[in-house]
Amino acid sequence: DAALELVDVDGGYGETQVLDGCSLRLEDGEIVCLIGPNGAGKSTVLKTAFGMLDPWSGQVRYRGREIGGAAPEDVVRMGIGYVPQTENVFGSLTVEENLRMGGVARSGGLGEVMEGLYDRFEVLDEKRDAKARTLSGGQRQVLAFARALVMEPDVLLIDEPSAGLAPNTADEVFADVRAVNEMDTAILMVEQNARKGLSVSDRGYVLDQGTVRFADDAGALLDDD
Ligand code: ADP
Ligand code: ADP
């Protein structure tokens, strides 16, 4: 079974349909990039996979098991993490407190996993007691990313990791994305900059009007540019 699969999903917000027969798969070990025009439904795919939106029809499957309709707090416990777009960390809380928020659904202690994350993300280690609002945009994005890792997900959904970041900082965030993938986390990522997103991914899906238009190896999609 795929790590994560959407099968012929229709969905959206209230009466507004966004996803229209959307089907895609994420296999273990992969980084898969969702690209496509603004408003294509890329973020909506992630929100539907994370249980923030219930599919109207079709299926969301995690390791073969139907999870469409499960709430985010249940989805998180199953092993799926979500990194929303920037500015989703709590500015008035410290780095340490933000990380602890990421682990509220964990049974047992946080100490070991937090120390592992501080080892991996030195910038956070140096800023443990700093209020998140004092961090740079790139540092806040790393914090949002690390916060999703406190639950040790084996599938991670990431919404535009480079949004609002300078190119150098974005490259550092993408390097973190790859490092996390190499530790056996399958990643489904939305990226506005198609070239950049595909260059760190194994495969890509081109979404338009809530439907997958093309799917191919990242290299093949890049050659078509
Ligand atoms: P993308 O990530 O590809 O830019 P989105 O998934 O964010 O696209 O949005 C797809 C469509 O859904 C857009 O037309 C957007 O305006 C609409 N949309 C997003 N969020 C909401 C919402 N909360 N309520 C109603 N429509 C929404
Ligand atoms: P996000 O990626 O979190 O959806 P957006 O900038 O697209 O961020 O939207 C900001 C807020 O406005 C979100 O809470 C979203 O639910 C809402 N929203 C976005 N598009 C629409 C829309 N077309 N109609 C109603 N609400 C929307």
pLDDT per position as a tens digit, 126-143: 999 999 999 998 899 899
ipTM score: 0.72
Q: Which residues pair with residue 9 across a beta bridge?
A: 22
CB 43 near ligand 2, within 6 Å: yes
Looking at residue 167, what is its pLDDT? 87
Side-chain half-sphere CA neighbours of 53 within 13 A:
23
Treating both helix axes as pointing N-terminal to C-terminal, what angle do 137-149 and 167-182 enclose, rounded to 10 degrees? Answer: 10
Residue 187: name the closest of 155, 143, 153, 142 by CA: 155
d(CA 100, CA 105): 10
Distance CA 130, CA 60 (A): 39
**pLDDT, tens only, 87-138:** 689 999 999 999 999 998 787 788 899 999 999 999 999 999 999 999 998 8
Give this prediction's pTM: 0.88
Q: CA-CA distance, 145 to 158, in Å (whole number)?
A: 8
> Scanning the structure block, which residue is given the tokens 């959206």?
12
Centre of ligand 1 to C-alpha 94, Å, is: 31
Ligand 1 centre to CA of 113 (Å) is: 34
- CA distance readout (Å), 171 to 29, 193, 206: 21, 12, 22
Atom of ligand 1 nearest to the CA of 40: 3
